[in-house]
Amino acid sequence: MALTRHFLNIPAVYKLGTRWAGYLPAPLTYAISQGVADLSYMLYKPAVKNIKGNLSAALPSLTDKEISRLTKSLFRNYGKYLVDYGRFTSLEKHSVLKKIVQFDGKEHLEAALKMNKGVILLTAHLGNWELGGIFFSSYGIKINVVTLMDHDAEIDYMRRWYREKHNVNTITLGSPFSAIEMLKALNEGEMVAMLIDRYDEGPDTVKVNFFNKPYDFPKGPFILSRAAEAPIIVAFVVREGDNYKGIVEKPLLIADEKGERDALEKTVKIIERYIMMYPDQWYNFRPV
């Protein structure tokens, strides 16, 4: 299923917003982003429909009016995400890290690192996942971000350039060597991070209930965890006011094949919980 494009994710707008955000005063870029977000909300009905459907599945007790209000807030938050993304590209690492003013679960990250088996970090399109790579690398661990190739090569290049600027390596799925790269990184004590809430059905996915509906999740991270004996942590970097908060859940360990399914189901439940806590920061523009 192809990802639904919207105004904020059109290459020209994406490039303009992220390129110039670092040169204009922050209040001005945020104000512009909110206007552009409102325009995107009005014009891109398919994306709005998908977001409303996803939020209704996650929060079934909300009324249509409340879902509409939350959807508009989500578009506005995504506009802020793009502004921050652009601003952070022009800042040094220590300046970026100052934006993360709280860290819940630091002890869980430290426990995973002490196992000396590398770490698999799983997350969702929630909050600022690109900032997460910079944040976790500040703990002295090399970060490898596993990603699907974007439908637009220009956006894909921009994201890769952004990561490299902050010493975050990119591993692109689809390459015959991607699995080898991931295993090598773990064996060298590095972190392998990936988003898992937006995958197409295929031989490398398995259906798990996600907000009470079967949904495809990748099984590769869990197979990899067992093969490398590497712990899995589920983590997020979410917006809190004008700043961000890092969150890490307890490490998951997989001992056998049954453990793979158990760990996946636990991971999905954790993702559900944080989506319900931060629903207007769940930037999944395709239907769940």
Residue ranges per structural domain of the chain: 7-89, 99-279
pLDDT, greater one: 173 or 246 = 246
Distance from the Cα of residue 103 to its chain's centroid: 17
The percentage of the chain sitting over the pLDDT mark of 70, rounded to a whole number, equals 83
> In this model, does residue 267 exceed pLDDT 80?
yes
> In this model, does residue 281 exceed pLDDT 50?
yes
Residue type at position 82? L
> In this model, does residue 8 exceed pLDDT 60?
no
Mean pLDDT (whole number) for 104-113: 96
| pTM of the full structure | 0.88
What are 14-21's contacts with CB under 8 Å, separation 24+? 14/82, 14/155, 14/158, 15/154, 15/155, 15/158, 17/82, 17/83, 17/86, 18/82, 18/85, 18/86, 18/89, 18/158, 19/86, 20/86, 21/82, 21/83, 21/84, 21/85, 21/86, 21/87
Return mean pLDDT, the chain: 86
Give the pLDDT of residue 140: 82
> In this model, does residue 13 exceed pLDDT 90?
no
Q: What is the pLDDT of residues 37-77, one digit of tens each?
A: 999 899 989 999 999 999 999 999 999 999 999 999 999 99
> In this model, does residue 2 exceed pLDDT 50?
no
Mean pLDDT (whole number) for 180-198: 94
